[in-house]
Structure 1
Amino acid sequence: MLPPDKGFKPAPVPQDNIIDRDVVAKLNDLRITPSEVTDDEHFLRRLMVDLIGIQPTPEQVLAFVADQDPAKREKIIETTMERSEFVDWWSLKWGDLLQNSRNTSSDRGVYAFREWIRAAIARNMPLDEFAREVITARGSSIDNPASAFYAVSKDPDDTIQRVTQVFCGVRMLCARCHPHPFEHWTQGDYYGLHSFFNQVSIKPDPHQVGVVNAKTILVNLAAPYSTNPRTTKVQPPRYLGGGEPKLDTGTDRRAEYARWLTTPENPHFARSLTNRIWSYFFHRGIIDPVDDLRSTNPPINGPLLDSLTKEFVEHHFDMRHLMKVIVMSETYQRSSLTNETNAHDDMNFSHAIPGGVPAEAMLDSVVQATGVKENFGGVPAGFTAAQFPDGNVQSTFLGIFGKPQRMDACECERDLSTNMLQALHFINGQAILNRVTNPAGRPALLLAKKPNDDELIDQLYLWSLARRPTEKEHTIAAQFITDAGDKRNEAAQDLMWALLNSRDFTMLQ
């Protein structure tokens, strides 16, 4: 139901950004006024956590705020995308999706696949090429690291479900036994896909005898097509949604599937990846969940998804270009502060929706803020949380804050919700307390420079929240330090502890 028209004035529909054009057009139809663009400090923290998985340092915040260049937001977006942390962050996300894990691959194979993904992200490999290389991979993960993708699968059924969920946003499990209850997929569709992948088998790697989970991916070119158990007839390869290609015998049928999957005309690939990438910046997809695309789950804004998908295809599946279009939009840059028309809107992107910070970004930001590193076992010294090869690194912090174990190809495995256990871990645990009281921690480092109270408060806020305090916050903090008397060191520790426990740190606003 539309809100009552109390003199609603439609916002001008922008034409210089396809996102703002389609979002504002719908908001006008709904009589919703979008929030204003957020300030520089909140924008910079949001951008850097989203793009590189760590919040900005005080120097970066102050330099950005002081910059008078009207194009500074575009410039900081471009420079942030060129940072090494960008490669770390998006390699982590693709490692999650492709389930790179020592539970199913050898240590060497996991690190080789990790480096393959990192190289692809670093050179901005188009995502159609990325998908083709993953889907057609074969051999040992040492010779062809992308073959580790298949090491996760127990059989072709696993592979079908993972490939369609990651690269099409489609869940095919139901169609294995009966027609899909919420979509038009049939067993014929399912076993048609099965025939593309049933040539693949997984064997122990003969070059790594005795190595746990060392596998090699073999392709039996002579394997027959799969049989549909309902009809008991052989089912030739069938594209998702129809069409049965004529394939020569003795060919790797996956190559034809990968070719079809990544054609610009394919209604699944570009659309699902566009929707998935969008969700990383807005905490929800235009279609949500992002890996459950079906006719009975329509987009919240069809023209928006169509426009963005077209942009993605026209720019040759360039992930960085799509990301830049998203974060350059006013829609992305809007404040989380609401007005009377959009206070209850949580689906139409009329304002920023505060969301949880991913576990790795949370921990790396805590380390940066406090200046006290985390000691991890099972990874090379100096690794940040965003650089982990998989989920098999023991960390109570990361577990509590929802780091996925890569047991599923679903985005739902990463938990961004907040809960009481997280709050108790911050309030009563040692993750924060030991850091702020550490003689080499941030409060001690700041006090060693003998700052006055104003300087100390500003620096504690900048390191903790990546922003300066408001006038009210500054007044309260100054009184707190004054009241501490000669216990200034403890006051600084307590203030930083409180800031790191605040919603402004634990949520992305």
Structure 2
Amino acid sequence: MFWTNMRVYVLLLVVFLSHALFAQSQPAVAATIPEPPLVAKKPVLPAAKPLHRIIDQQIQQGHKDYQKLSSVRCSDSEFLRRVTLDLTGRIPSIEQTRAFLTEKRPEKRTILVDQLLGSPEYARHISQQLDVTLMERLRKKYIDVGAWEEFLRQSVAENKPLDQMVREILSADGSKKEDLAAARFYLARDGDVNELTRDISRIFLGADLTCAQCHDHPDVNDWKQDHYYGISAFLVRSFVFKDKKKKQTVFAEKAEGEVKFESVFEVRDKTSKGPETTLPVVFNGSKVPEPAFKKGEEYKVKPAKDVRPVPKYSRREQLGAAITSPENRRFARTMSNRLWAMVMGRGIVHPLDADHSENPPSHPELLDTLTDQMMAHQFDLKWYLRELVLSETYQRSSANDLFNSKDAEELDDSKFTHAILKPLTPEQFAWAVLEATGQAAVYRNSLKKKLTEESLRKKLVGYERQFVSLFGGLPGKPVEGFEATADQILYLSNNQAIQGILSARAGNTAGRVLKVPVEQPEKAAEELYLSVLNRHPDQAETKEIVSLLAGKTGKERSDLVSDLIWALVMSSEFRFNH
């Protein structure tokens, strides 16, 4: 059926190339600025005015030519698609699109944001984002992945404070039913102390300390070997234990064991004074003291063959509290920056795990403010995301008249003068395709009174898993950009499941378009574009669709409509959040 009409092929090329060229026109990133304020400050209070207004003020103050360089406010259709993808992981339905574009209330964007934040899809999508951040698509090991995903989803749904969620994860050993799922963070990494030290520092502290394991970091003066081992000391006594009687795997712990380290450079130069050791400590914070026990009294349950030891004092249990302590601003700063990057397309510190004085933030005052307010609002995830997406900074258009001018080099992404193009995540891509083709609508209609977010997901999750397996990258190495591979292109072009949802059936996009009277091709064009790209077609696009549909009836018309849907779904405009 596909590519039987050369003009459809031409249309696809035009759509793809125009948006691909636009994507390439986005400027490169640059940065410069002061050492991160990582020591504790005095407790801060919520700001007197909304954070989204402070964001706009400080972004504009960050660059003297911001007003001259910045894009205009995005259109309603851009905002609707962007914020729905960012907060719920899918594009809006055609019903939502029509309703929002015809809504006249001036506060309709705020109303939309609150509706999305209150939806079950918000909890599902944000928990998936957290899952990828925390687990980097590691495969199942010991702990049921579904239980872990439900732990995250439920945590987001009840708006559990982000610091509390992290404490629960870092204190879990899997020995109790209530913390079994949360222990996946440790157990999926096989309890490897070095891997955990690396990932904890990267994910929660914005510092990739991998190269500080054998010596002070060779490229970052701020990061020392004792920073690496200060974190490692929380974990050095822990190990994976398989309880054969209970048929359970837990992250057990001994009562003794110390980290020992010395610089390989000092060993080589014969200047080493011998191995050092350290108590647990997070960067330059306070070392965590350890109670002393008489020899032989260190355990609640002493080590023995096939017996899980339980010490009276657990070093690992102190890790979550130390990481999220108000004295450690790195955690709040890193989480603020990660969430900012999630919706804005780039961190204020970028890369996200390179927060040090030689890679300063693009807007140091703003990152300080975000950190303060994250702490002042007790790590309220929903509040924080709401403030970000209500800012005018978030609502800038991705288009800018200066992209093709002599001033294009001034449009650095780090200035946030425009919305940065973000490739859809595999999950977003899957659900966007299901919404654009109308497959989601078909199942919504079939479920009727049984329709819930969970019941709909059960019907369609197979599609999501196919997209994740193909587009999700290697476990432990999440994809950050987008570059289509041959396998991906073949899947999207030839997979029977994909081809099946393009064909006309009652309630899906092709079916709705074919119901439009033949003598009203302009309405067919509108139905296509509102369904797939969530906007009205422009004059040239309408003219092209009208021309393609002219004289087509029966199967020829049906095949052509499916081809057109496929062409729009394959366009760069669809593949990116813009």
TM tier, shorter chain? 0.7 to 0.9
1:201 to 239, 244, 253: 239
1:260 Cα deviation after fit: 2.6
Q: Return the alpha-carbon distance in structure 1 between the equivalents of residues 459 and 349 of structure 2.
A: 30
* Equivalent residue for 1:127, pick from 157, 162, 171: 162
When residues 292 and 141 of structure 1 are mapped into structure 2, their CA distance, relative to the original with a 3 A threshold, is: farther
Q: Give the secondary-structure state (helix, strand or coil) at the position aligned to 1:149.
A: helix
Deviation of 1:360 after TM superposition, in Å, equals: 1.2
State yes or no: 1:497 paired with 2:566.
yes
Between 286-295 and 128-137, the greater mean CA deviation after superposition: 286-295
Other-structure match for 1:33? 69
Q: Distance in 2 between matches of 1:229 and 1:386?
A: 53
User: Does the 8 A contact of 1:165 with 1:171 survive in 2?
Assistant: yes
Contact 2:52–2:388 (CA<8 Å) still a contact in 1? Answer: no
Contact 2:516 2:524 in 1 (8 A): no
| Aligned match of 1:421 | 486
Aligned to 1:173: 210
Q: Deviations over 1:147-189 (max 9, x none)?
A: 1211023422222112111111111111111111213332222
- Structure 1 match to 2:252: 218
Match of 1:316 among 370, 373, 378: 378
Partners in 1 of 2:372 and 2:570 — Cα distance?
42
- What are the residue-to-residue correspondences of 1:61-460 with 2, within 5 Å? 61-99=97-135, 103-106=139-142, 109-140=144-175, 142-144=177-179, 145-154=181-190, 155-181=192-218, 182-206=220-244, 209=247, 215-220=249-254, 222-230=255-263, 231-249=274-292, 250-340=312-402, 343-344=408-409, 345=411, 346-372=413-439, 383=457, 395=466, 397-401=467-471, 403-408=472-477, 413-419=478-484, 421=486, 424-425=489-490, 428-430=493-495, 432-437=498-503, 439=505, 441-448=508-515, 450=517, 452-460=520-528
Larger radius of gyration: 2
User: Quick check: 1:465 aligned with 2:533?
Assistant: yes
- Cα distance in 1 between the residues matched to 2:480 and 2:87: 19
Residue by residue, what CA displacement relative to the aligned partner does 1:318-349 show, whole Å, maximum 9, x if unpaired? 11111111100111011111133864312211
CA distance in 1, matches of 2:566, 2:379: 44
8 A contact 2:230–2:279 mirrored in 1: yes
Aligned residue for 1:203, secondary structure, equals: strand
Letter in 2 for 1:88: R
Count of equivalent residues: 477
What letter is aligned with 1:188?
A: D
**SS of aligned partner of 2:241:** strand
2:333–2:371 contact (8 Å) kept in structure 1 = yes
User: Quick check: 2:171–2:318 contact (8 Å CA) kept in 1?
Assistant: no
- Counterparts of 2:557 and 2:314, CA distance in 1: 70
Shift, 1:382, TM fit: 5.7
1:35/1:233 CA distance change after superposition, 3 Å? closer
What SS class does the counterpart of residue 215 from structure 1 fall into? strand
Q: CA deviation at 1:296?
A: 1.6
Pair 1:471–1:424, CA change in 2 (3 A): same
After TM superposition, give the deviation of residue 258 of structure 1 in Å. 2.2
Deviations 1:189-224 (A, max 9, x none): 222222211232211244653xxxx5212132x223
Structure 1 residues 343 and 387: CA distance shift in structure 2, 3 A:
farther
CA distance in 2, matches of 1:297, 1:461: 43
1:4 corresponds to: none
Unaligned runs of 5+ in 2: 1-49, 264-273, 293-311, 444-453
Between the aligned partners of 2:424 and 2:63, the Cα distance in structure 1 is 27
When residues 426 and 456 of structure 1 are mapped into structure 2, their CA distance, relative to the original with a 3 A threshold, is farther
Q: 1:508 to 1:151 in 2, by over 3 A?
A: same
8 A Cα contact 1:109 1:142, kept in partner: no
Distance 1:188 1:137 in 2: 25
Report the CA distance between 1:273 and its aligned residue.
Answer: 0.5
Q: How far off its partner does 1:394 sit? A: 6.1
Which stretch shows the higher mean deviation, 498-507 or 27-36?
27-36
- Give the secondary structure class of the aligned counterpart of 1:484: coil
Measured after TM superposition, the shift of residue 462 of structure 1 is: 1.2
Decide whether the 8 Å contact of 2:526 with 2:537 is kept in 1.
Answer: yes
In the TM superposition, residue 242 of structure 1 has moved relative to its aligned partner by 4.6
SS of structure 1 residue aligned to 2:563: helix
Q: Aligned Cα RMSD in Å?
A: 3.0
* Aligned partner letter, 1:436: L
Shift of 1:503: 2.1
1:402-436 superposed Cα distances (whole Å, 9 cap, x missing partner): x145425xxxx123323363884477434654432
Structure 1: runs of 5+ lacking an equivalent: 1-13
Deviations, residues 466-506 of structure 1 (Å, cap 9, x unaligned): 11212222122112211435633233222222221222211
Task: Provide the C-alpha distance between the structure 1 equivalents of 2:209 and 2:117, rounded to a whole number of angstroms.
Answer: 35
Aligned counterparts of 2:460 and 2:354: Cα–Cα separation in 1: 27
| Structure 1 residue 116: Cα displacement | 1.2
**How far is the alpha carbon of 1:297 from its aligned partner?**
1.4
Higher relative contact order (CA 8 A, sep 6+): 2
Partner Cα separation in structure 2 for residue 208 and residue 102 of structure 1: 25
- CA distance in structure 1 between the partners assigned to 2:226 and 2:485 by the alignment: 47
Contact 2:516/2:523 (<8 A) preserved: no
**Offset of 1:400 from its aligned partner?**
4.1
